[in-house]
Amino acid sequence: MTAVPTTPATATAGAAAPGSAGGRRRLRGRYLAVLILAAWVLLSVVLKGRDTLALGGAELTPLHTRLNEGMDAIDAGRNSNPLFLYFINYIRLFLDESVTFVQALISQPSFGRPVPVVGWLGVTGVATAVALLYGNRKVAALTAAGFAAFGLLGLWEESMDTLALTLTAVVLSLAVGIPLGIWAGLSDRVNRVVTPVLDVMQTMPTFVYLAPLTLFFLIGPASATVATMVYATPPVIRITAHGIREIPVNTLEASTSLGSTPAQALRKVRLPLAKRTIIVGANQTIMAALSMATIAALIDAPGLGKTVLKALQTLDVGTAFNAGLAIVIMAIVLDRVTSAAGRRVEAERRAGRARGPRARRIEVGLVLAAAAVLVYLSHVYVWAAKFPGEARLGSYVKQGAGAASEWVQDTLVTYTDALKNLVTYGLLNPFQSLLAGSPWWLVALVVVALALLLAGRRAAIIAGVSLVLLVLLGLWHDSMVTLATTLVATLIVMVLGVVAGVWMGRSGRVDQVLRPVLDAGQTMPAFVYLVPILGLFGATRFTAIIAAVAFAAPVSIKLVAEAVRGVSPTAVEAATAGGSSTWQLISKVQLPMARAGITLAASQGLIYVLSMVVIGGLVGAGALGYDVVAGFSQYPLRGKGLAAGLAIVVLGIMLDRIMRAAAQRAAARPASQ
């Protein structure tokens, strides 16, 4: 999913302030915080098990029942509400037709032919041509190799189905998202309205709205497209708005003083300057859309996700991995091509017009002609339409991955079991009993007090409101269990993030080796590696933590590496010249100066961990994740599932706001002294 700040505001929040000791006030704050924590531990022992508001697996509160009835009412009104129905129906038709059209072009037999209009050679040719024209030769080669790999893995048709759905969803997301992002960039009021909506869209688990979506958009491509768009549109809106905002004031003033109208300023100054950032937003939207491939398959979305889910039914890790690998390859190709396009836009803007228009025109013409020939061939000849060969590579991958998974499960299980027990008994269980075992009002008091102390009054109010909401949703106990697991996972993510991130930030070679691994961790669907990690750690909360870490750590590592690399070389040189050891250099110079980036890595890591709560519910984490899954699976539990989804959103927003305010405060304090 999103690899770059989905909350760019944080990036500006903490302008690194290493400052000498932040004064007495800060020290006093620390003592107070420790005191509060100590009091909490003491009281929790005394009051253990009281007012924990636990709710059994199948128990419902009146609110849950009412939510269920509400959803039933919508269901019943579907056929009697013409306005609603016509509106939704037209959108559905449009979406269905769009996806089916792209499928007819590249993936499904169509127009009475046994094969799609354009075969493998044509698709590969066009994709390579696009990569060459908008990116560079290196990414063009990568694109050609990547598309060939789909065929060699034996997954050409499935890959094209996924590509068709992803591309349609992405195009529509950009069509909606870029204008909205520009608007939010120009108007503070719009931005304020849009931000919480985007927060909800990104943190609300897909499982919650997947089943209801099929009531409106029916089973098929339209529902899958909408589900994908809900998750994939926010990044481009946020990042576009950010890009429009960060344009230097004096550039704008210059254009205004030259007499341009706001519309002209937008077209001539803001948009060209923000173009590169907008492409970064598009890149993030593509990644987010692709990450929905597996989940959308739960409502019959065509493509690789189906292969993964089918394989999971028979615990066929090899086949699932093979399909997961195709998804990873697709993600890496799309990522590298859009990144190269972004860099090229930037370079051309800096250099004015880099190439003569005539030479460019000839190049475009030739490349397009070559692609057209390939498309024609693949339309007419069987060898270019259907991928030839036996897909040997695919069967090797399947066998290899299957055998590896089995070997790992058989040989490592004693050690991994010990590790699981160590972390669970040593850290997770005590922490959970503190959060979920104390009376709710005690926990709420402590959290609000800590928020007030570390993050200020506004954050404390948000925390208070959020905690009351959790109680009202009837899921306090489950929320606290989930919170404990989430915080432990985030802790592990940050340890990994700092260690690997510093290592990567300091050495280009390490970066080169680690980066593809991190990309794979981020884009490989969790469903692929659930079976091996279940074999190693059992159906436990720890397994859920491992899955969350596998997904969230890459983002944090990349962000920390970026921050360490961003530390000014002169500071590093000065320290080295002053005789600092490597360790001193890291701990005294690089880490403190990269503090803003590390804070960002922590907040992003947390959001990513939260987005894995539902996957955790599938592997034994229980609590909110399980509630959401159960709501998706059982009719009487729908209302509770929705409430659990809302609880996850509330947790996410609360933690995000507290962390951001705390980071801002920590950065601002030395200056205010």
Partner 1 sequence: MAVSRMAGLRVSALVAGAGLLLSACGGAKVGETTDAQASGGGQSGCGTFNLAVNPWVGYEANAAVIAHVAEKELGCKVVKKDLKEEVAWQGFGTGEVDAIVENWGHEDLKKKYIEEQKVAVELGETGNKGVIGWFVPPWMAEKYPDITDWKNLNKYADLFKTSESGGKGQLLDGDPSFVTNDEALVKNLKLDFKVVYAGSEAALITAFRQAEKQKTPLIGYFYDPQWFMSEVKLVKVNLPEWTEGCDADAAKVNCDYPVYDLDKIASKKFADSGSPAYELVKNFTWTNDDQNTVSKYISEDKMTAEQAAEKWVNDNPDKVKAWLPAAAG
Residues 51-110 that bind partner 1 (CB under 8 A): 56-58, 75, 78
Among residues 238, 245, 270, 306, which is the contact residue for partner 1, using CB under 8 A?
306
**10 Å Cβ neighbour count for 196?**
11
- Minimum CB–partner distance for residue 3 and partner 1 (Å): 27
Task: Give CA–CA dist 177/281, Å, rounded.
Answer: 9
**Euclidean distance between CA atoms 470 and 648, whole angstroms:** 9
- How far are the Cα atoms of 108, 169, 623 from residue 166, in angstroms, in the given order? 15, 5, 32
Cβ closest to partner 1, residue 302 vs residue 342: 302
Q: Give me the least distance between CB of 80 and partner 1, in Å please.
A: 13
Q: Which of 621, 650, 653, 655 binds partner 1 (CB under 8 A)?
A: 621
Three state DSSP letters for 240-266: HHHHHHCCCHHHHHHHHHCCCCHHHHH
Nearer to partner 1, 66 or 78 (CB): 78
Find out whether 296 and 232 touch, Cβ atoms under 8 Å. no
With CB under 8 A as the contact rule, the residue among 298, 461, 575, 668 that binds partner 1 is: 298
Q: Contact with partner 1 (CB under 8 A): which of 327, 548, 629, 661?
A: 629
Among 180, 619, 650, 653, binds partner 1 (CB under 8 A): 619
* Sole binder of partner 1 in the list 21, 350, 357, 410 (CB under 8 A): 410
Task: Determine if 370 is a binding residue for partner 1 (CB under 8 A).
Answer: yes
Among 19, 29, 620, 670, binds partner 1 (CB under 8 A): 620
Region of 4 (left: φ > 0; alpha: ψ -120 to 50; beta: rest) is: beta
Site for partner 1 in 514-553 (CB under 8 A): 530-531, 534-535, 538-542
Cα 131 to Cα 71: distance, rounded to the nearest angstrom: 46
By rule CB under 8 A, what count of residues binds partner 1? 84
Footprint on residues 458-497 left by partner 1 (CB under 8 A): none
Rounded distance between C-alpha atoms, residue 118 and residue 379, angstroms: 5
CB of 578 to partner 1, least distance (A): 42
- The site map against partner 1 for 577-616 (x = CB under 8 A) is ----------------------------------------
C-beta of 211 vs 274, nearer to partner 1: 211
Which segment (38-46, 565-573, 629-637, 650-658) binds partner 1 by CB under 8 A? 629-637
CA–CA gap between residue 527 and residue 295 (Å, rounded): 9
8 Å CB contact between 524 and 643: no
Shortest CB 434 distance to partner 1, Å: 14
- Residues 111 to 140: which contact partner 1 by CB under 8 A? 113-115, 119, 125, 132, 137
The CA distance from 386 to 125, in Å, is 14
Nearer to partner 1, 281 or 535 (CB): 535
* CB closer to partner 1 out of 459 and 536: 536
Judged by beta carbon, residue 379 or residue 588, the one nearer partner 1 is 379
Cα separation, 191 vs 237, whole angstroms: 10
User: Is 637 or 667 the residue whose CB approaches partner 1 more closely?
Assistant: 637
Please report, as residue ranges, which positions from 207 to 246 form the binding site for partner 1 (by CB under 8 A).
210-211, 214-215, 218-220
Distance CA 650, CA 352 (A): 47
Question: Residue 563 Cβ, how far from partner 1 at the closest point, in Å?
Answer: 34
- The string over 95-108, giving b where at least 16 C-beta atoms fall within 10 Å of a residue's C-beta and e elsewhere, is bbebbbebbbbbbb
Contact window for partner 1 (CB under 8 A) among 99-107, 198-206, 406-414, 509-517: 406-414
Rounded CA-CA distance 233/239 in Å is: 10
Strand spans (E) along 425-478? none
Q: What's the rounded Cα separation, in Å, for the pair 170 and 286?
A: 6
Which of 65, 507, 633, 673 is in the footprint of partner 1 by CB under 8 A?
A: 633
Contacts of 45 (CB under 8 A, 6+ apart): none
5, 625, 645, 652: which one binds partner 1 (CB under 8 A): 625
- Taking CB under 8 A as the criterion, the residue among 104, 145, 332, 413 binding partner 1 is 413
Among 35, 38, 193, 369, binds partner 1 (CB under 8 A): 369
Q: In Å, what is the CA distance from 359 to each residue of 217, 322, 352, 364, 365?
A: 48, 42, 16, 9, 10
Residue among 186 and 367 whose Cβ is closer to partner 1: 367
- Asked if residue 466 lies in contact with residue 649, where contact means CB atoms within 8 angstroms, the answer is no
Binding mask 247-286 for partner 1 (x = CB under 8 A): ----------------------------------------
Longest dimension (CA), the chain: 82
In the complex, least distance from residue 524 CB atom to partner 1, rounded to whole angstroms? 16
Among 297, 337, 460, 555, binds partner 1 (CB under 8 A): 297
State which of positions 375-404 bind partner 1 (CB under 8 A).
376-377, 379-385
CA distance 455 to 449: 10
**CA–CA dist 604, 1 (Å, integer):** 11
Candidates 550, 563, 644, 555; CA nearest to 598 is 563
What does the DSSP assignment read for 526-590?
HHHHHHHHHHHH-SSHHHHHHHHHHHHHHHHHHHHHHHHHTS-HHHHHHHHHTT--HHHIIIIII
SS3 2: coil
**Per-residue x/- marks for partner 1, 137-176, CB under 8 A?**
x---------------------------------------
- Report DSSP state, residue 118: S
- What x-and-dash track marks residues 324-363 binding partner 1 by CB under 8 A? ------------------------------xx---x--xx
Q: Are 280 and 235 in contact (CB under 8 A)?
A: no
Whether the Cβ atoms of residue 6 and residue 604 lie closer than 8 Å to each other: yes
Residue (492 or 655) nearer to partner 1, CB: 492
Q: Is 399 helix (H, G, I), strand (E, B) or coil?
A: helix
Q: Which is nearer to partner 1, 369 or 574 (by Cβ)?
A: 369
Q: Which stretch binds partner 1 (CB under 8 A): 159-167, 294-302, 579-587, 652-660?
A: 294-302
Which is nearer to partner 1, 109 or 262 (by Cβ)?
A: 109
Looking at beta carbons only, is 266 or 370 nearer to partner 1?
Answer: 370
Closest CA to 7 of 255, 194, 264, 215: 194
List the structure tokens of 399.
């066998």
Task: Report 183-212 residues binding partner 1 (CB under 8 A).
Answer: 210-211
Do 204 and 648 form a contact (C-beta atoms < 8 A)? yes
Minimum separation from the CB atom of position 618 to partner 1 (A): 4
